[in-house]
Amino acid sequence: MDFAQLETVFRRLALAAGERIMAIYDGADFAVRAKADASPVTEADEAADALIAEGLRAAFPKIALVTEEQAETHGQTVSTFLIVDPLDGTKEFVQRRGEFTVNIAYVEDGVALRGVVYAPAKGRLFYNRADGSAVEEAGPFGPAPGALRPLRVGRPDNAALTVVASKSHRDAATDAYIAKFGVKDMTSAGSSLKFCLVAAGEADLYPRLGRTMEWDTAAGDAVLRGAGGRVVRFDDHQPLGYGKPGFENPFFIAYAPGVELKEP
């Protein structure tokens, strides 16, 4: 894989998809319908997906592509592939809360190696450089990258952790697990932004005790990995892998090394 090309293409497609999403988001109204699994989808999801998929297939024609909005890609058995969630946090989009993201990732041998997470309504852009390191780029975003801030996870104090949890999927089981830690501050965020908050040192711990798919997590996982963080399975604390049957994740924990994980 040409990682320099990957960085350039991921960044370009994420920004272009974000622009298309925001044109719909800022409009007077948009249609929302339910998919087969009852989750919402909008014209913004579909427009961003079409743009990203076309760009990835043109740039990397020999690499398998898995994308949330194309069900025909979900039956593949692959360990090296591109994976896309064109609009993660559709509920945040529909409710106009702004915390939705564009996610594009590259998985190699089951490991999320490179990714881009773009929150267009928040003006935050996170991605891996060609060497795997993670950065946040300062806007406004043009054809060439602007100022880059290296990302590095924080040094957690286990007596005073900052924990980030889902805005739309918080439940009693998650709260019970969080209660096992010494927590200084709780914050909530939508979509894959939670991984990026840990990567940026703005949070120490993100537990997810709920259903997610690999396209929800791969890009954020790669960014967090590039910042020195980890994502592990909730049940056995082994690294979260990719290319699983149906691309469905188990429960997981994303964290900065130094956090003393608790048993389920």
- Please write down the HEC assignment for all residues of the chain: CCHHHHHHHHHHHHHHHHHHHHHHHCCCCCCEEECCCCCEEEHHHHHHHHHHHHHHHHHCCCCEEEECCCHHHCCCCCCCEEEEEEEECHHHHHCCCCCCEEEEEEEECCEEEEEEEEECCCCEEEEECCCCCEEEECCCCCCCCCCEEECCCCCCCCCCEEEEEECCCCCHHHHHHHCCCCEEEEEEECCCHHHHHHHCCCCCEEEECCCCEHHHHHHHHHHHHHCCCEEEECCCCCECCCCCHHHECCCEEEECECECCCCC
| Mean pLDDT value of segment 202-207 | 97
| Mean pLDDT value of segment 94-123 | 94
Q: Are residues 171 and 129 in the same domain?
A: no
Q: Are residues 17 and 48 in the same domain?
A: yes
pLDDT of amino acid 65? 98
Domain's final residue, options 121, 150, 179 = 150
pTM of the model: 0.94
Q: Are residues 138 and 176 in the same domain?
A: no
Reply yes or no on whether the pLDDT at 192 is more than 90.
yes
Q: Which domain holds residue 189?
A: 161-255
pLDDT of amino acid 172? 87
Q: Are residues 61 and 137 in the same domain?
A: yes
Q: Are residues 175 and 94 in the same domain?
A: no
pLDDT of amino acid 39? 65
pLDDT band at 105 (very low <50, low <70, confident <90, very high): very high
- Whether 48 is covered by a domain: the verdict is yes
Domain's final residue, options 150, 184, 218 = 150
pLDDT of amino acid 34? 61
- Whether 104 is covered by a domain: the verdict is yes
- Whether 263 is covered by a domain: the verdict is no
| Mean pLDDT value of segment 213-227 | 98
pLDDT of amino acid 190? 78
- Whether 61 is covered by a domain: the verdict is yes
pLDDT digits (tens, 9 = 90+) for 145-187: 999 999 999 999 999 999 998 766 668 889 999 999 999 999 8
Least trusted range by pLDDT, from 23-32, 211-220, 248-257: 23-32
Q: For residue 139, what is the domain's CATH number?
A: 3.30.540.10
pLDDT digits (tens, 9 = 90+) for 3-23: 999 999 999 999 999 999 999
pLDDT digits (tens, 9 = 90+) for 241-262: 999 999 999 999 999 999 999 9
pLDDT band at 35 (very low <50, low <70, confident <90, very high): low
Q: Are residues 62 and 105 in the same domain?
A: yes
pLDDT of amino acid 33? 65
Average pLDDT, the chain: 92
